[in-house]
Structure formats: C-alpha cells, structure tokens
Amino acid sequence: MSRSGFRRAAVSLAAVAVIAGAAGCQGSSSNGGGGGKKAGSGGVAAVSPIAALRAAEKKTEGASSAKVDGTMVMGSAMSTTMSGALGWADGVTGTMDMRYTGGTMADAMKQAGGDGAVKARYLSDAYYANLGDALAAQTGGKHWIRYGYADLSKLMGASGDVMKDQMQNATPDKGVKALLASGDVKKVGEEKVRGVLATHYSGTVDVAKLTEKTTALSPDKLSAFKEQLSKAGVTTEKVDIWVDKNDLLVKKSESGQLKTGAFNSTVFYSDYGTAASAEAPPASDTVDFTKLMKQQAGAS
C-alpha cells in the first residue's frame, strides 16, 4: 500500500471504528417522547410500546456494561464482525476484536499485508486501534494508533461534533431513546433471540430531525451536518430492538441507505454487568493519529 493509500485507510478506519466498534453503545440522546397504544394481551410485555421501551431504557442504562457482538455492512466500503465487552458508566470503555471481512477497506488492509483483524480499546477520550505487525511497519514499528475524539471532531467537521457527543455519552439504551423520540414505535411481536424470548419493537428515525432535537450544535454546524447527511445519501434509519423479560436490550438492528449502498448493523447484548475496562497502550508502542497524518502528508 502506498503512503497516501495507508493514510486514506487510516482515516477510513477511524470513522468506521467509531461507528462499528461502538455500535453496541451508539444512538442519539433524547428524553424520549411520543404516544403509545393501549396494552396488548399477554406475553413478555403486555404493556404499551412506549411504557415498555421506557422501562427497557432505564434498566439497560443502569446495567453499566455488557458483552457485545455483531456485524455491520456499509455499502461497498466495508463489512465487519466484532465482539468484546463494553462499559458505559463514564463514557464508553472496554475492548473489542474486529475483523474486516469485505469491501474496499478489507481489500486495502490485505494489500498492505494485514489479515483484516483489528484490536480496539475504548477509553473516555480516545479510541486505540492495533492493526497488526504488517501495518505497524508503516507507523515506525508502533502497533497502536490513537484516535482522540476531539481530534476526530475537528477532522470530520459537523458530523465529528455529533460523533464526539455520542462517543462520550453513549450507552446501549440510546437506541431505545432514539426509537422513543422518533414518534414511530410499534410492537412487532414476540420472538426468540438466541434462545431467549424477547419482544420486538420497530420504528423509523429521521436522522437529521433527531439530531436537531438531541444535540447542542449551533445553527451553522447543524446546517453543515445536514449537508453532510445529504451528500452521503442519509435520510432515515429503520431501528429494531428486542427486549427480554427483564427489560434488558438483547438485540438491536439498524438499517438504511447510503449513496455507496445499503447500511445495516446487528448487535447482540448479553452478560450484563460483566467486567469491562481498558488501559491506554504503552506510549512507546503508540502513534497519535494526527501525528501520523502529518508524517504521511509530508512524505507524499
């Protein structure tokens, strides 16, 4: 891979890591809202969808940590698998093993000698990615790249501000909150999720409107963010969640359309309360993303 190619891959990895790796804890903040239908009959959740989701929101938020695994596809750009443990008591913390299984991102990593595997560590202010020995050869022998959320916010413009807020305040219940805030919530029925009986809820979220409601972006940045969404082809997102008899989120699915193709993500949650922590890698084995960008730009 050329130096400029590696730089593009590093940028892509940063964006994808934030979206995919933290998919277990991603969503837009909200106090919820909307109305619900009267209680249905029998089953895991014989209450209105709104009441059931509010209970799930509260219970899931209070659980503080869980094991997370899932898959994500972003058009022709990439497909990944991921598994790990994440906590959200004070921002997202934890570890995740990710593998790029397809798309241009996986192809770029293979061309550089990598196998598509990435080890991730999430701390409250930054994300660390280890791309393996082959790619370390292009970072001065350092295995870990540090992506500071504040730096990514500057790099990605208005969408970076939204991302920074989500990463520093993310919890799995935010997907529930987004569904509540959409005003479009329905109970689909009862289904088995990996052998566990759960209630399935579904709705459609207007991404731009939800962001306008739930972030503190200035009018200029909000306008810029909407423009970025428009260029990417993002309008609405379908959100499906499954809640067990203990009011805990056990599965979340998100899908939508980008100009580069379909986007879909499926995440499973289990073992709530599991230990989830992470430490910053040794400084001697870490290069900062901003420094790497400057070095690559100077060498191009």
pLDDT band at 40 (very low <50, low <70, confident <90, very high): very low
Mean pLDDT value of segment 75-89: 88
pLDDT of residue 19: 44
pLDDT, average across residues 95-115: 85
Q: What CATH number matches the domain at 3-299, 3.40.50.720, 3.40.50.450, 3.30.70.870, 2.50.20.20?
A: 2.50.20.20
Average pLDDT over residues 281-292: 90
4-18, 214-228, 244-258: range with lowest mean pLDDT:
4-18
Domain boundaries, the chain: 3-299
CA nearest to 49, candidates 34, 70, 64, 66: 34
Mean pLDDT of 165-192: 76
Mean pLDDT of 207-217: 52
Q: Which of 32-41, 87-96, 186-195 has the lowest mean pLDDT?
A: 32-41
- Average predicted confidence (pLDDT) for the chain: 75
